[in-house]
Amino acid sequence: MCGILGIVSNRAVNQDLFDGLNLLQHRGQDAAGIVTMQNGQFFLRKDNGLVSDVIRTRHMRRLQGNIGIGHVRYPTAGSASCAEAQPFYVNFPFGLTLAHNGNITNADLLKQELINQNSRHLNTLSDSEILLNVFADELYKQTQVLKQAISPMLIFAAIKGLHQRVKGAYAVVALIAGHGLVAFRDPNAIRPICFGTRKNAEHTDYMIASESIALDGTGFELARDLAPGEGIFISEEGEFYSALCADKTSYSPCMFEFVYFARPDSVMDGISIHKARQVMGRALAKNLETNWKDHDIDVIIPIPDTSRTSAWVMAGALNIEFSEGLVRNRYIARTFIMPGQSTRKKSVRQKLNPIKEEFAGKNVLLVDDSIVRGTTSEEIVRMAREAGANKVYMASAAPAVRFPNVYGIDMSNQADFIAHERTTEQVAIAIGSERLIYQSLADLTTCVHALNPAFSGFDNSCFDGVYITGDIDADAIKRLAQTRALHADQKNDDSQLDLHNDQ
């Protein structure tokens, strides 16, 4: 999972890009980057680290121009080398730079096509560089076929060609040197992307972002989300164009965005994330009330921060005391998106600390947004017992995660999931709790879908093993796990050539 951003203005965009990326920092803390454009020239700064560490004052001065894109990275495909920080750049045709959120599922096939048939060079392991080169190749084909200068029509034809070649999940922002900003979304709308405007006396500024919070925090007003398969082009002069660029579409966003990734103050695909988590809490309360009538829960405590809304609503619906019994250190990154299991486990106790009087002598229900590897759950259950809890129960606002996610979430190795080949009772034992309650997938889908009936469905693949792109089978999952393992071994390799980065 990553965060992407793009801005077209009539004034310098470096500060808005910096501020917007900080608002998207929750989507990735591994690397950050900004590219701006002035007079057809790109200015780039990217590296591993948080936005505030990567982009310093000296870099801001050099990021010149009224148009630019930015990225915060959470690595899934590729390695964690600083050479794979985004945006990526190619100089032909026109000069292109691109930032991508998602994961390309036919990356290996595309890589061979690009090298063998299109004579393009790939310098990293990243599927985002592959996506950039496919876009570059499609743009070049259109200029050759139509024998015309670049135009919105030509750009949308190139996006359509890309949709026909690329499988997987992708939300993209890109710059074409001397022309403008491009954005597009995969035909299934798996990964989020929206745009908004900021009007002044002389100009309408545009921002494209992964989440609406980036718009809110920088003075932009949300216009709408990109439709499945839609492309947008905004010229340097601020002329706005859009077109549907895919023949077959399905409005099926990733459910895990609503469960965990997105900020509660964002609106995504027409749904308030806060509201979505409220209805998840209400459904989970109904589940518990139906299936555990004689419960002895004294207090409900959320595992901060993502589960707070669901836990609060659940406590109200059940007329059980709600308490903030765990204090989060806000200077520790989100453990789920940290690379490496050992790093995640070590950071749990650094991130959370119990208020002992909220646990002592009580039967406690801990509520989390989801349980994936079980690392956090096991450690927090242990902390609750050490704080004096009489009994410790656990509830998850999401169903059991049993299948790999191949669309941009670091869930590739099925054996890492605590629910893999375990019943709910066995998972409860594994994390050390007396009882475990999962949200049912039917309840989760029903309650969120009711907030936007326009959806065709959801990408629920990590819960049900159904992959909506239609190209994922057991062999593909096995290859993906092997590739991720190989890339993990190379994650500290900084030997790749890092091109065009302003140090």
Q: What is the pLDDT of residues 407-419, one digit of tens each?
A: 988 776 788 899 9
Higher pLDDT, 77 or 97: 97
pLDDT, tens digit, 9 for 90 and up, residues 115-126: 999 889 999 889
Average pLDDT over residues 444-457: 98
pLDDT interval class at 169 (50, 70, 90): very high
pLDDT interval class at 288 (50, 70, 90): very high
Average pLDDT over residues 132-137: 97
CA Rg value for the chain: 23
Element counts in the chain: helices (H) and strands (E): 16, 22
Q: Which two tokens stand for residue 398?
A: 């999401």
**In what order do the strands lie in the sheet containing 221-225?**
41-48, 31-38, 67-73, 3-8, 204-209, 194-199, 221-225
Give, as one character, the DSSP assignment of residue 184. Answer: E
pLDDT at site 502 = 58
pLDDT at site 495 = 47
Among 210-214, 361-365, 471-475, where is mean pLDDT lowest? 471-475
Q: Which two tokens stand for residue 122?
A: 């790939």
CA 335 to the chain's CA centroid: 14
DSSP codes joined into one string, 106-145: THHHHHHHHHHTS-----SS-HHHHHHHHHHHHHHHHHHH
pLDDT at site 341 = 53
Q: Are 352 and 335 in contact (CB under 8 A)?
A: no
Length of the chain: 503
The per-residue pLDDT of the chain, averaged, comes to 92
Any catalytic annotation for residue 462? Answer: no
Which among 2, 254, 447, 462 is annotated as catalytic?
2
pLDDT interval class at 148 (50, 70, 90): confident
484-493: long-range contacts (C-beta < 8 A, 24 or more apart)? 484/76, 484/77, 484/412, 484/413, 485/413, 487/77, 487/78, 487/79, 487/125, 488/79, 488/339, 488/340, 490/79, 490/81, 490/125, 491/75, 491/79, 491/80, 491/81, 491/339, 492/80, 492/81, 493/79, 493/81
Residue 244 exposure: Cα atoms within 13 Å on the Cβ side: 10
Residue 103 clears pLDDT 70, i.e. is over it:
yes
pLDDT interval class at 501 (50, 70, 90): low
Tell me the residue type at 319. Answer: N
Average pLDDT over residues 190-216: 96
Convert 97-114 to b/e letters by CB count within 10 Å (16 or more is b).
bbbbbbbbbbbeebbebb
pLDDT, tens digit, 9 for 90 and up, residues 305-360: 899 999 999 999 999 999 999 998 877 655 554 555 555 555 677 889 999 999 99
SS3 433: coil
pLDDT at site 334 = 52
pLDDT at site 479 = 75
Higher pLDDT, 326 or 493: 326
Residue 307 CB neighbours (<10 A):
26
